[in-house]
Structure 1
Amino acid sequence: MHDFTTLAATVFMGFFAMMNPIANTAVFVGLTGDQSLSERRKTASKSLICAFVIVALFSLLGKGIFDLFGITLPALRLAGGILVFLVGYHMLQGNQSSMHSDNSSEHKGGDIAISPLALPILAGPGTIATAMNYSASGDMLHIVTTISAFALLCLITFVCFLYGPKLVDKLGESGISITTRLMGLILTVIGMQMVIQGVHDAMELFQASNLTN
């Protein structure tokens, strides 16, 4: 039970730091400033459902994707750890990582719920790498925990989006900046832990292959 609680808390905090609902709420408010309350609710729902479907699919199909492309778990943890670390590093500087932000200044005729909100802001490469890292073992407990943790985070983010203008006004720019930097610190630590685990697993895999030869 203790191990499950630790796993669930670790997965949730990893997703929470990566998605950073507080900072993303400010982005959402900026993108939907000209929409009515009902339109904002529809945009928030659509973007979060799309993000959840993307993460759930990668969590469920992660092992199959590995087998298809011949990817090992240590390789994912090393690459994913570096990716997560870079996102966290940018956030520590007070910036939104380019991997989880939209660089275009205009959205002509496009659905902002799909792009840039669902992709790449909510379910960007770092979020996908985090989901695959936690569910890659193929163990059903890890997969269900990963999907459940992300579903809970989507609900929290939905509430933040609905009350976005009030939340942004209360926190202000300094509050959002502090939150972003704290989430960045957590992400850099998670990224380094993934890299350390990846190196450890790679060494064990290398030693096992030498013994068999």
Structure 2
Amino acid sequence: MIVFFKALLVVPITLLPILNPIAIAPIFLSMTGPIEPEIANRLAKRIAINCFFLLMGAIFIGSYVLDFFGISLPIVRVAGGIVVGMAGWKLLNDQSQDKLLNSVAASHGGQWDREELRRRSFYPFSFPLTVGPGTIAASVTLGTQMPHKPIDWLLTSIASAMGVLLTTVVVYLCYRFARNMERFLGDIGATVLMRLSAFILVCIGIEIGWAGVSDLIADIRLR
């Protein structure tokens, strides 16, 4: 049972600080625009489902996929850091937030059809905005640390799946009630939080990239 509860707690404790859904929620709002609450709820639910399968895949088969293509975790971290950092930098320097907010309403009138909702829920909202390369690298690392003893592996797998479920529930709640948080903060507060979140995203990208570069340098020194 100790193995079970340890795995259950390790997954959300490891992934939530990297996912940081509370900080990403204002960015989520800025990218969706003034869509209807029902559509926003469906979008948040689809994003949570997509994130669940992305994280499960990264934990259980991510290391095998990387081995198949000959890609190391440091390379994933470097590439992920660049992607996350560029996304944060673009949002941080975006001077046309109002245009971005209104573009969706102008194109869709607040109504997205099922195909549009499915497409947008995965890219860019699920990946790379929510589950970015840094989260995938952390998830793959968790997968490589699973015990080899069959009973322990089974317990750890079940606990990890439940941990991923808890993590994606938090993501859903943050995105589902992002509009309420925006109303509570007001326009100025929401703008400040969005800019601050974008800056944090840049910092996370640099940190992820530097971790990868450090691993590569250490690997060169060992050789």
Settle same-fold status: TM greater than 0.5. yes
The offset of 1:69, in angstroms, is 0.6
Query: 1:80 is paired with a residue of what secondary structure?
Result: helix
Letter in 2 for 1:61: I
Q: Answer whether contact 1:46 1:114 (CA < 8 A) is retained.
A: yes
CA distance in 2, matches of 1:148, 1:189: 29
Runs of 4+ in 1 over 6 A off after TM superposition: 4-7, 143-149
Query: 1:30 is paired with a residue of what secondary structure?
Result: coil
The residue that corresponds to 2:51 in the other structure is 51
The partner residue of 1:11 within 4, 15, 25 is 15
CA distance in 1, matches of 2:195, 2:211: 24
CA distance in 2, matches of 1:11, 1:149: 10
Q: Answer whether contact 2:92 2:195 (CA < 8 A) is retained.
A: yes
Letter in 2 for 1:189: C
The offset of 1:70, in angstroms, is 0.6
Could you say what the CA RMSD is over the residues aligned between the two structures, in angstroms? 3.9
Is the aligned partner of 1:181 residue 2:185?
Answer: no
Q: Answer whether contact 2:62 2:140 (CA < 8 A) is retained.
A: yes
CA distance in 1, matches of 2:62, 2:48: 21
Residues 145 and 202 of structure 1, relative CA distance in 2, 3 Å threshold: farther
CA distance in 2, matches of 1:90, 1:196: 20
- Decide which moves more: 9-18 or 182-191: 9-18
Matches within 5 A, 1:142-153: 151-153=165-167
- Unaligned 5+ runs, structure 1: none
Higher relative contact order (CA 8 A, sep 6+): 2
CA distance in 2, matches of 1:60, 1:6: 15
CA distance in 1, matches of 2:57, 2:176: 26
The partner residue of 1:133 within 128, 131, 137 is 137
Query: 1:124 is paired with a residue of what secondary structure?
Result: helix
CA offsets per residue over residues 116-145 of structure 1, 9 Å max, x none? 12332133277230222213332239x999
Query: 1:140 is paired with a residue of what secondary structure?
Result: coil
Query: 1:195 is paired with a residue of what secondary structure?
Result: helix
Q: Answer whether contact 1:11 1:134 (CA < 8 A) is retained.
A: yes
The offset of 1:21, in angstroms, is 2.1
The offset of 1:19, in angstroms, is 7.1
Q: Answer whether contact 1:77 1:197 (CA < 8 A) is retained.
A: yes
Between the aligned residues of both structures, percent identity stands at 19
Q: Answer whether contact 1:22 1:176 (CA < 8 A) is retained.
A: yes
CA distance in 2, matches of 1:189, 1:153: 22
Matches within 5 A, 1:101-112: 105-106=107-108, 109-112=113-116
The offset of 1:27, in angstroms, is 4.8
The partner residue of 2:207 within 186, 193, 197 is 193
Q: Answer whether contact 1:48 1:118 (CA < 8 A) is retained.
A: no
The partner residue of 1:20 within 24, 27, 38 is 24
The offset of 1:75, in angstroms, is 1.2
Residues 11 and 186 of structure 1, relative CA distance in 2, 3 Å threshold: farther
- Unaligned 5+ runs, structure 2: 1-6, 148-156
* More helix by percentage: 2
- Decide which moves more: 169-178 or 4-13: 4-13
The residue that corresponds to 2:78 in the other structure is 78
- Normalised TM-score (structure 1): 0.69
